[in-house]
Amino acid sequence: MNIYKFRVIIDTEADIFRDIEIDTQSNFADLHEAILRAFDWEEGEMASFYMSNETWDRGEEIPLLDMGEMEGKSSPSMFNTLLKDRVTRPDEKLVYVYDFLRMWCFYIELQEIKKAAPSTLYPRVALAYGDAPDIDEKEIDFSGGFDLMDLEGLSGGSKADSRPDKTGDPEIDAYLDDMDEEEEERFEDLDDWSDDY
């Protein structure tokens, strides 16, 4: 039996990596599970591998689930794609993303292909460097870059709640006051409408 030895580096300020050895006949789901175990994380979030290159660009995606299954088509997924069908030589690179809300990113490089050691169970962690971060260390970003609390209605009030009371310009202040009144009327109309349902 042949095994792959991957170096898996997590994208953090500190230097943290794991060397993972895994059977070449394994699928990408096996590697996905091995990475999470190596960093003491639990499964439960979406994830994808991406074939990569020397500059770590993301190429072909191998998602956790078969995205074409709902349409009756088969497409690559971690469960139906074997490592040996995508990774064939040392120095090949992959990018692995876990939890698309927190966007944990791992850089993976194949170190070597070698014979399995006798009486050794795979996959296994051959080398661990650095303490794994807490999976909840990164905050969830629901907004995709927008400040949701500044959007109308999502802060439990209106845009006017975050405005200064007065700008110093009488015309602008009068205009903003009118806008505030219209906004309050819209919220009242929404409340009346929601009461009907």
**What's the DSSP call for residue 161?**
G
Q: Is 91 left (phi over 0), alpha (psi -120 to 50) or beta?
A: left
**Residue 84 lies in domain:** 2-137
Q: 56 in a domain, yes or no?
A: yes
Looking at the predicted structure, is the pLDDT value of residue 38 above 90? yes
Closest by Cα among 108, 112, 12 to 51:
108
Query: 176 in helix, strand or coil?
Result: helix
- Boundary (domain end) residue, out of 111, 137, 163: 137
Q: 187 in a domain, yes or no?
A: yes
124: domain CATH number is: 3.10.290.30
Reported as a single tens digit per residue, the pLDDT across 148-163 is 444 444 444 444 444 4
Which pLDDT score is estimated for 139?
A: 83
Number of structural domains found in the chain: 2
Same domain flag for 109 and 156: no
CA distance 37 to 159: 45
Same domain flag for 79 and 132: yes
CA-to-CA dists, residue 148 to 5, 135, 137, 179, angstroms: 43, 23, 21, 21
Looking at the predicted structure, is the pLDDT value of residue 164 above 50? no
